Amino acid sequence: MNSRGRALLAAGAAALALAGCHTPPYRHSAVPLPANHPTSLQRELQAVQHWQMLAASIALATRAMLDAEPGMLGHPFSVMPPQPASEFSLAFHELLVTELHKAGVRVAAPPARSTAIRYAIRLVEFGQGRRTDYPFYATNDSLPPELAVADQSEISDRRVPRHELLVTTSILRGDGYWLRRGDIHYLRDEDAGLYRVDGSALADARLIDVVRTQESRRMRAEGWPAYALPAR
């Protein structure tokens, strides 16, 4: 090996030794480390008008589904409210019927011959300690393009609510779903009572299954075609 090669080798060894002096000891974690999700936005329901906006989005999705099958545009639908009812579900039922009508969806009053639109409501309550990094001043440069905001006022500076609402809308057709969507929103903790019945959360999935089975039996007895029967 010539002198140039020996010099390069020595320099490399010195660099490795120097790097080793600053390398922290390798440590193992007993459990996975918690990591943050990418930044996202989630709306908060604070007014009856927000309930109307939610109903309108479901109505427009239903109309878009029918537009994809023009032969079904005149098909009647009936809205089946969850039971027992809460302050929210009573108002939301009326708003959804209205918004479906405005969207050009034919709405029939049950128990008419119609395909049922069902929605389930689930109130989720998390524990104490939910947080984000406040104050959070987002700009168009600090967020991904799909989360860019016009000004700082779009991002709430309130603490993260403990309560969230999941509204799942279903239109059953034969053995599957004609439409299935879920909408998730934050709730003001002080408003949680609007979404409860006797202190209990709504929308037990077992209750929805019971209603679906009962309606399937009734419709079968009335001679409905198989494609229109709700899946069991």
Long-range contacts of 154-158 (CB under 8 A, 24+ apart): 155/41, 156/44
pLDDT (mean) for 123-132: 80
The pLDDT of residue 2: 58
Instruction: Quickly name the fold that domain 41-125+162-232 has.
Output: Alpha-D-Glucose-1,6-Bisphosphate; Chain A, domain 3 (3.40.120)
Domain boundaries, the chain: 41-125+162-232, 128-161
Give 178-196 pLDDT, tens digit per residue. 888 999 999 999 999 999 9
Distance of alpha carbon 40 from its chain centroid, rounded? 13
pLDDT (mean) for 167-174: 85
Determine the angle formed by the axes of helices 87-102 and 48-67, rounding to 10 degrees. Answer: 40
pLDDT (mean) for 16-42: 72
Question: Is the model more confident about 57 or about 137?
Answer: 57
Least confident of 52-56, 60-64, 91-95, 155-159: 155-159
The pLDDT of residue 111: 67
